[in-house]
Structure 1
Protein backbone atom coordinates (compact mmCIF):
# COMPACT_ATOMS: atom_id res chain seq x y z
CA UNK A 1 0.00 0.00 0.00
CA UNK A 2 1.24 3.48 -0.83
CA UNK A 3 -0.22 6.91 -0.10
CA UNK A 4 1.13 10.08 -1.72
CA UNK A 5 -0.09 13.66 -1.44
CA UNK A 6 -1.16 15.12 -4.78
CA UNK A 7 -1.97 18.78 -4.19
CA UNK A 8 -5.28 18.97 -2.34
CA UNK A 9 -5.88 15.26 -2.91
CA UNK A 10 -4.23 11.99 -1.94
CA UNK A 11 -3.22 9.22 -4.31
CA UNK A 12 -3.75 5.79 -2.70
CA UNK A 13 -2.38 2.62 -4.28
CA UNK A 14 -3.53 -0.76 -2.98
CA UNK A 15 -2.82 -4.03 -4.76
CA UNK A 16 -1.61 -2.22 -7.87
CA UNK A 17 -4.79 -0.14 -8.21
CA UNK A 18 -4.56 3.63 -7.67
CA UNK A 19 -7.39 5.96 -6.71
CA UNK A 20 -7.43 9.65 -5.87
CA UNK A 21 -9.26 10.86 -2.80
CA UNK A 22 -9.98 14.30 -1.48
CA UNK A 23 -8.64 14.87 2.02
CA UNK A 24 -12.23 14.79 3.30
CA UNK A 25 -12.90 11.43 1.62
CA UNK A 26 -9.58 10.10 2.93
CA UNK A 27 -10.56 11.13 6.49
CA UNK A 28 -13.92 9.37 6.10
CA UNK A 29 -12.13 6.26 4.82
CA UNK A 30 -9.72 6.36 7.78
CA UNK A 31 -12.64 6.57 10.21
CA UNK A 32 -14.51 3.75 8.47
CA UNK A 33 -11.46 1.49 8.46
CA UNK A 34 -10.84 2.30 12.13
CA UNK A 35 -14.42 1.39 12.98
CA UNK A 36 -14.11 -1.87 11.07
CA UNK A 37 -10.81 -2.77 12.76
CA UNK A 38 -12.15 -2.06 16.22
CA UNK A 39 -15.58 -3.00 17.29
CA UNK A 40 -17.84 -5.49 18.92
CA UNK A 41 -19.62 -8.44 17.31
CA UNK A 42 -22.44 -9.99 19.31
CA UNK A 43 -23.62 -13.53 18.87
CA UNK A 44 -26.26 -15.57 20.70
CA UNK A 45 -24.42 -16.11 24.00
CA UNK A 46 -20.97 -14.63 23.37
CA UNK A 47 -19.39 -11.50 21.93
CA UNK A 48 -16.03 -10.71 20.36
CA UNK A 49 -14.30 -7.36 20.73
CA UNK A 50 -11.51 -6.18 18.44
CA UNK A 51 -9.55 -3.60 20.46
CA UNK A 52 -7.44 -0.72 19.12
CA UNK A 53 -4.26 -2.37 20.41
CA UNK A 54 -4.96 -5.40 18.18
CA UNK A 55 -6.08 -7.67 21.00
CA UNK A 56 -9.27 -9.71 20.78
CA UNK A 57 -11.60 -10.33 23.72
CA UNK A 58 -14.12 -13.15 23.96
CA UNK A 59 -16.80 -12.34 26.50
CA UNK A 60 -20.14 -13.60 27.67
CA UNK A 61 -22.78 -11.49 25.95
CA UNK A 62 -24.32 -8.98 28.33
CA UNK A 63 -21.83 -9.67 31.13
CA UNK A 64 -20.07 -6.80 32.85
CA UNK A 65 -17.26 -8.43 34.82
CA UNK A 66 -13.76 -9.53 33.82
CA UNK A 67 -14.58 -13.02 35.09
CA UNK A 68 -16.71 -13.46 32.00
CA UNK A 69 -14.02 -12.69 29.42
CA UNK A 70 -10.77 -13.97 27.94
CA UNK A 71 -8.24 -11.62 26.30
CA UNK A 72 -6.06 -12.82 23.41
CA UNK A 73 -3.14 -10.84 21.97
CA UNK A 74 -4.86 -11.00 18.59
CA UNK A 75 -7.63 -12.76 16.71
CA UNK A 76 -4.85 -14.86 15.15
CA UNK A 77 -3.96 -16.18 18.61
CA UNK A 78 -7.56 -17.33 19.09
CA UNK A 79 -7.46 -18.89 15.60
CA UNK A 80 -4.28 -20.76 16.59
CA UNK A 81 -6.01 -22.12 19.68
CA UNK A 82 -8.92 -23.35 17.57
CA UNK A 83 -6.59 -24.94 15.01
CA UNK A 84 -4.82 -26.91 17.77
CA UNK A 85 -8.06 -28.37 19.11
CA UNK A 86 -9.06 -31.90 18.13
CA UNK A 87 -12.00 -32.48 15.76
CA UNK A 88 -14.33 -32.87 18.74
CA UNK A 89 -13.59 -30.94 21.92
CA UNK A 90 -15.23 -29.90 25.16
CA UNK A 91 -14.54 -27.47 27.98
CA UNK A 92 -12.18 -29.94 29.62
CA UNK A 93 -10.04 -29.97 26.46
CA UNK A 94 -9.45 -26.23 26.94
CA UNK A 95 -8.17 -26.84 30.48
CA UNK A 96 -4.91 -28.05 28.95
CA UNK A 97 -4.39 -24.53 27.58
CA UNK A 98 -4.89 -23.00 31.04
CA UNK A 99 -8.50 -21.89 30.79
CA UNK A 100 -10.58 -22.39 33.91
CA UNK A 101 -14.17 -22.27 35.06
CA UNK A 102 -16.92 -20.90 32.89
CA UNK A 103 -14.39 -19.33 30.46
CA UNK A 104 -13.82 -22.79 28.95
CA UNK A 105 -17.52 -23.19 28.20
CA UNK A 106 -17.68 -19.64 26.85
CA UNK A 107 -14.87 -20.42 24.39
CA UNK A 108 -16.58 -23.59 23.17
CA UNK A 109 -19.74 -21.54 22.53
CA UNK A 110 -17.79 -18.72 20.85
CA UNK A 111 -16.14 -21.14 18.41
CA UNK A 112 -19.58 -22.51 17.52
CA UNK A 113 -21.19 -19.06 17.19
CA UNK A 114 -18.50 -17.08 15.35
CA UNK A 115 -18.73 -17.45 11.55
CA UNK A 116 -14.92 -17.50 11.16
CA UNK A 117 -14.69 -20.86 12.89
CA UNK A 118 -15.99 -23.98 11.11
CA UNK A 119 -17.57 -25.41 14.23
CA UNK A 120 -20.95 -26.45 15.58
CA UNK A 121 -22.17 -27.58 18.96
CA UNK A 122 -22.18 -31.38 18.90
CA UNK A 123 -24.00 -31.55 22.23
CA UNK A 124 -25.19 -29.22 24.97
CA UNK A 125 -24.84 -31.59 27.92
CA UNK A 126 -21.99 -32.07 28.13
CA UNK A 127 -21.13 -28.98 26.06
CA UNK A 128 -19.07 -30.20 23.13
CA UNK A 129 -17.90 -28.53 19.92
CA UNK A 130 -17.17 -30.24 16.63
CA UNK A 131 -15.14 -28.89 13.72
CA UNK A 132 -17.10 -29.02 10.49
CA UNK A 133 -14.30 -28.90 7.92
Structure 2
Protein backbone atom coordinates (compact mmCIF):
# COMPACT_ATOMS: atom_id res chain seq x y z
CA UNK A 1 0.00 0.00 0.00
CA UNK A 2 2.85 2.42 0.81
CA UNK A 3 4.28 1.88 -2.69
CA UNK A 4 0.90 2.74 -4.20
CA UNK A 5 0.73 5.98 -2.25
CA UNK A 6 4.28 6.93 -3.26
CA UNK A 7 3.47 6.24 -6.91
CA UNK A 8 0.36 8.40 -6.68
CA UNK A 9 2.41 11.30 -5.36
CA UNK A 10 4.72 11.20 -8.36
CA UNK A 11 4.00 13.36 -11.36
CA UNK A 12 5.63 12.25 -14.60
CA UNK A 13 5.71 14.00 -17.96
CA UNK A 14 7.30 12.82 -21.20
CA UNK A 15 8.41 14.94 -24.13
CA UNK A 16 10.13 14.06 -27.41
CA UNK A 17 13.66 13.57 -26.06
CA UNK A 18 13.29 14.12 -22.31
CA UNK A 19 11.05 13.36 -19.38
CA UNK A 20 10.59 14.70 -15.88
CA UNK A 21 9.29 13.28 -12.65
CA UNK A 22 8.33 15.11 -9.49
CA UNK A 23 8.95 12.79 -6.57
CA UNK A 24 6.99 12.61 -3.34
CA UNK A 25 9.89 14.28 -1.47
CA UNK A 26 9.60 17.35 -3.74
CA UNK A 27 12.69 16.60 -5.81
CA UNK A 28 12.52 16.72 -9.60
CA UNK A 29 14.29 14.27 -11.90
CA UNK A 30 15.05 15.27 -15.49
CA UNK A 31 16.07 12.32 -17.68
CA UNK A 32 16.45 11.14 -21.23
CA UNK A 33 13.09 9.80 -22.32
CA UNK A 34 14.11 6.24 -23.15
CA UNK A 35 17.01 5.80 -20.74
CA UNK A 36 16.91 4.03 -17.42
CA UNK A 37 20.39 4.55 -15.93
CA UNK A 38 21.27 7.27 -13.42
CA UNK A 39 23.93 8.54 -15.84
CA UNK A 40 21.11 9.84 -18.02
CA UNK A 41 19.35 11.94 -15.40
CA UNK A 42 19.78 15.02 -13.26
CA UNK A 43 18.09 15.33 -9.86
CA UNK A 44 17.07 18.74 -8.53
CA UNK A 45 16.12 19.32 -4.90
CA UNK A 46 12.91 21.08 -5.94
CA UNK A 47 11.07 22.81 -8.78
CA UNK A 48 12.57 26.07 -7.50
CA UNK A 49 16.07 24.60 -7.84
CA UNK A 50 15.29 23.64 -11.45
CA UNK A 51 13.91 27.14 -12.17
CA UNK A 52 16.98 28.78 -10.60
CA UNK A 53 19.23 26.71 -12.85
CA UNK A 54 17.30 27.88 -15.92
CA UNK A 55 17.17 31.52 -14.80
CA UNK A 56 20.95 31.56 -14.28
CA UNK A 57 21.57 30.70 -17.94
CA UNK A 58 22.22 33.48 -20.48
CA UNK A 59 19.49 34.41 -22.99
CA UNK A 60 21.19 32.24 -25.62
CA UNK A 61 22.89 29.17 -24.21
CA UNK A 62 24.63 25.97 -25.22
CA UNK A 63 25.41 22.85 -23.25
CA UNK A 64 28.72 24.38 -22.15
CA UNK A 65 26.79 27.13 -20.33
CA UNK A 66 25.02 24.63 -18.09
CA UNK A 67 27.37 24.53 -15.12
CA UNK A 68 25.36 22.37 -12.74
CA UNK A 69 26.30 19.06 -14.37
CA UNK A 70 28.94 17.65 -16.66
CA UNK A 71 29.11 15.65 -19.86
CA UNK A 72 26.07 14.64 -21.87
CA UNK A 73 23.72 15.64 -19.05
CA UNK A 74 24.36 19.27 -20.04
CA UNK A 75 22.83 18.48 -23.43
CA UNK A 76 19.95 16.77 -21.66
CA UNK A 77 19.12 19.95 -19.75
CA UNK A 78 19.31 22.14 -22.87
CA UNK A 79 16.80 19.85 -24.59
CA UNK A 80 14.58 19.67 -21.51
CA UNK A 81 14.40 23.45 -21.12
CA UNK A 82 13.40 23.71 -24.79
CA UNK A 83 10.76 20.96 -24.53
CA UNK A 84 9.11 21.71 -21.18
CA UNK A 85 6.30 24.25 -21.55
CA UNK A 86 7.05 26.05 -18.26
CA UNK A 87 10.33 27.35 -19.70
CA UNK A 88 10.14 30.13 -22.30
CA UNK A 89 12.86 28.66 -24.48
CA UNK A 90 13.36 27.04 -27.89
CA UNK A 91 16.16 25.19 -29.63
CA UNK A 92 17.81 27.41 -32.24
CA UNK A 93 20.57 25.04 -33.32
CA UNK A 94 21.16 21.29 -33.27
CA UNK A 95 24.90 21.34 -33.98
CA UNK A 96 26.06 22.75 -31.75
CA UNK A 97 23.05 22.26 -29.51
CA UNK A 98 21.90 25.75 -28.58
CA UNK A 99 18.71 27.23 -27.13
CA UNK A 100 17.39 30.74 -26.71
CA UNK A 101 15.04 32.18 -24.13
CA UNK A 102 11.98 34.19 -25.11
CA UNK A 103 11.84 33.15 -28.77
CA UNK A 104 8.38 32.11 -30.00
CA UNK A 105 8.19 28.79 -31.82
CA UNK A 106 7.56 29.05 -35.54
**TM-score tier (shorter):** 0.7 to 0.9
Which fold has the larger relative contact order, with Cα–Cα distance below 8 Å and residues 6 or more apart in sequence?
Answer: 2
Larger Cα-atom Rg: 1
Q: 1:121 aligns with which of 78, 86, 91?
A: 91
Q: Which runs of 5+ in 1 are unaligned?
A: 1-30
1:28-75 C-alpha deviation (Å, 9 max, x unpaired): xxx8xx84x522100000000000000000000010100000000001
Instruction: Give structure 1 regions of 4+ aligned residues with deviation exceeding 2 angstroms.
Output: none
Q: 1:68 aligns with which of 36, 40, 46?
A: 40
| Structure-1 separation of matches of 2:68 and 2:41 | 14
Is the Cα contact below 8 Å between 2:53 and 2:68 reproduced in 1?
no
Is the Cα contact below 8 Å between 2:10 and 2:24 reproduced in 1?
yes
| Structure-1 separation of matches of 2:95 and 2:45 | 31
Tell me which protein shows more strand as a share of its residues: 1
Q: Which runs of 5+ in 2 are unaligned?
A: none
Query: Could you say what the CA RMSD is over the residues aligned between the two structures, in angstroms?
Result: 1.6
With structure 2 as the length reference, what TM-score do the two structures score? 0.87
With structure 1 as the length reference, what TM-score do the two structures score? 0.70
Given the alignment of the two structures, is residue 55 of structure 1 paired with residue 27 of structure 2, yes or no? yes
| Structure-2 separation of matches of 1:131 and 1:124 | 15
**For residue 79 of structure 1, what is the aligned residue in structure 2?**
51
